[in-house]
Structure 1
Amino acid sequence: MLEGRWKMMILFHLFARPVLRFSELERAIPAISQKMLSQQLRELERDGIVRRTVHPQVPPKVEYALTDWGRSLCPVLDALLKWLESRGASPTG
């Protein structure tokens, strides 16, 4: 479910800010293409980790947030982040 180069980075950003628009995620992860971001978000949504909300307006406003199950990953990923930091590594590159 968390396989892929970008999913962990997307999750870290959604842990930091509970609701993000597609464009905000795109700016937060400049190295990811629109196609890849869209694909990774669709997979996270399909797996029940991320919730996609479309607001009926022009232009359409689409927001992404973690589901309850997705938020339950926070302690696990926080421990992983601490482990990475202790090894001198960074989850963002």
Structure 2
Amino acid sequence: MQPRRYNCGLDAAIDVIGGRWKSLVLWALHEHPLRFGELKRRVSGISEKMLTESLRELEHDGIVHREAYPEIPPRVEYSLTERGQALNTALLTLGDWGEQNMHHIAERRGVLPAPRH
């Protein structure tokens, strides 16, 4: 089997953040490190299994750092690496576009948009 090749930078970026949850996990970590339970509360609707899987993949890709503290009970925190912070900065523009077009997209797809602030 031949290794996968990326056709462009966008192809590589989408491979890292692909799926429903990874970009939301990144956004939840944008201010400061969080523990697993805090992340689960901030990423509404994600299951423990999907959060665990997303964190493992993001850690493998060098986007998220996992810090386990030698305490009892054990404490683990997740934070963005420098590469993860740069990716989050890039996602800001995409988020702005989504905010500007959310109601149009929701209407076309039959989804309920978040209430406007």
TM-score over 0.5 for the alignment? yes
Structure that is richer in helix per residue:
2
CA distance in 1, matches of 2:101, 2:44: 25
CA distance in 2, matches of 1:35, 1:75: 27
CA distance in 1, matches of 2:81, 2:89: 15
Q: Residue in 2 aligned with 1:63?
A: 77
Identity of counterpart residues, as a percentage? 45
Q: Determine helix, strand or coil for the equivalent of 2:102.
A: coil
CA distance in 2, matches of 1:14, 1:42: 14
30 and 82 in structure 1: CA distance in 2 versus 1, 3 angstrom threshold: closer
State TM-score, norm by structure 1.
Answer: 0.89
CA RMSD in angstroms, aligned pairs only: 1.9
Q: Give the superposition deviation at 1:56.
A: 0.7
Hey, which bits of structure 1, 4+ residues long, moved more than 3 A? none
Structure that is richer in strand per residue:
1
CA distance in 2, matches of 1:35, 1:57: 24
Q: Residue in 2 aligned with 1:18?
A: 32
| Consecutive unaligned residues in structure 2, runs of 5 or more | 1-15, 107-112
Is residue 2:67 matched to residue 1:53? yes
Is residue 2:41 matched to residue 1:34? no
| Consecutive unaligned residues in structure 1, runs of 5 or more | none
The structure that has the greater radius of gyration is: 2
CA distance in 2, matches of 1:88, 1:33: 24
Between 1 and 2, higher relative CO (CA 8 Å, sep ≥ 6) is seen in 1
Is residue 2:76 matched to residue 1:76? no
